[in-house]
Amino acid sequence: IHDPVTQRIDYQYLRFTPDGFRMTPLPMRYAWPQETDLMAQLAGLTLESRWGGWDKRAFAADSRMHISVYRKPGA
């Protein structure tokens, strides 16, 4: 279930066991790059890199994910 207002996606994790299967709720909240940038800034971090995927492809406006790396100045 996706709720764009709260930015939540609720998944069900399905695991097969010797007795059958188990479903475990897996709630997730996503954040837009601007949100993570603000949280990082408030924590004293600066953006070092941002990619559009784990393969380090370029981040673009139409990227479906973002991988952001922040660094503490002087570290």
For residue 75, pLDDT over 80 is answered with no
**pLDDT for the residue numbered 74:** 85
Q: What is the pLDDT of residues 10-39, one digit of tens each?
A: 999 999 999 999 999 999 999 999 999 999
Tell me the C-alpha to C-alpha distance, in Å, between residue 70 and each of 7, 36, 61: 22, 10, 20
Q: What are the residue ranges spanned by the domains of the chain?
A: 1-30, 31-75
Q: What is the pLDDT of residues 26-73, one digit of tens each?
A: 999 999 999 999 999 999 999 999 999 999 999 999 999 999 999 998
- Predicted structure pTM score: 0.69
